[in-house]
Every structure is written in structure tokens, then in C-alpha cells.
Amino acid sequence: MEQMTIDTLDRKIIGALEADARISFAALAEHVGLSKTPCWKRVKALEDAGIIRGYAARLDPAKLGFGIEAFIQVSIDFEVSEEFEAAVRRHPLIWRCHATTGEADYLLHIVAVDMAALDRMLREELSRLPGVRRTITSMAMREIKGEISFAAAQSWTQSTKR
């Protein structure tokens, strides 16, 4: 699949949708200086290209009762990596998982109700996932930055090219 070229108008659309994915097409079109149909076609093209992967509500874990966030470095036996990844996808407390370079093979971002629940999850569940050899857990104290504007990041990247 050929990569779609993103222009200034697409970046404006992406930025507006990042700020408010519930914005109407009429308001979005007005914001970026288009009529509704061309605006809708651009959004559809961004969706079809996989640039916009979906729309979701951003929730506050603490306000939903998940008072603990932790980052866990996991080292595994690679012959069972597919099974490990499948188990991670199914686990409801694992928020994000990234394959990494360095000392650990994966970095997990998890939520738990409290420290006892985190301890139970680590000892009784995570340690028993396929191939897990070692884990290192770091607790999140507070969030400094939790979002990125990809439209702004792309603009910054373009402006710093020499």
C-alpha cells in the first residue's frame, strides 16, 4: 500500500479531530476552510489510508477506580512470543504493550485498582503468561504528558528538516 501524502489541510483536519473527534463535519469543514463534501472526502481518505484508525473517548483511569498505573518491562523466551502477545491482547488490565529493544522484550502499561490488586496481577497472572522469564515494575507517580498531537508533531518534523 502506497503511503498517503499529508498536506497542510490534512494536518488541520487531523489536529481538529485530535482535539475533538465529535466535531460535526459542518464545524470541521468551517474550521479548515472547506465545504462539507470535500472535507468529508478528505476524512474518508485519511480513514481508508489507516492514518485515522478510529475514534474513542479518552477516559481517566483514576476516576474509574483504577488508582494504580504501572509500567512493566518483560523479558520472555522468544519461541513463545506469539502466545505471549495473544495473552497480552486478551488481558483486560493491560492498557498498552510495546515490543522494545534493550534489556526487556516488551513494555506493558497496566492499570490496577490498588497495590494489592497490582501485586496479585503480577504474581498470579503476568508471571504465568507464556514465556515470561523476568519482569521489572515501575510505578507511575503522576502523569506529566498523556497525549500527543500528531498533526503538530508532523509539522514540527517538517519544519526541522534541513
What is the pLDDT, as a whole number, of residue 1? 54
Distance (Å, whole) CA 126 – CA 35: 51
What is the rounded distance in angstroms from the CA atom of residue 45 to the CA atom of residue 38?
A: 10
Please answer whether residues 84 and 90 qualify as being in contact, where contact means their C-beta atoms are separated by less than 8 angstroms: no
CB atoms under 10 Å from CB of 83, counted, come to: 13
Task: Give the range of the structural domain holding residue 99, as residue numbers without chain letter.
Answer: 61-139
The whole model's pTM is what?
0.81
DSSP secondary-structure letter at 45? H
Residue 154 lies in a domain: no
Segments of the chain with pLDDT less than 70 = 1-2, 162
Do residues 27 and 87 share a domain? no
Whether residue 117 sits in one domain with residue 76: yes
Measured in Å, how far apart are the chain's first and last C-alpha atoms? 28
CATH of the domain at 14: 1.10.10.10
Q: What is the pLDDT of residue 129?
A: 97
Alpha carbon 84 to chain centroid distance? Answer: 19
Q: Are residues 42 and 86 in the same domain?
A: no
pLDDT in tens, 105-122: 999 999 999 999 999 999
Contact 70, 95 (CB under 8 A): no
Instruction: Examine residue 153 and state whether it is found in any structural domain, yes or no.
Output: no
Q: Which CATH number does the domain housing residue 97 bear?
A: 3.30.70.920
What integer pLDDT is reported at residue 27 of this predicted model?
96
> Does 145 reside within a domain?
no
The predicted structure's pLDDT at residue 155: 77
**Do 25 and 16 form a contact (C-beta atoms < 8 A)?**
no
Provide the domain count of the chain. Answer: 2
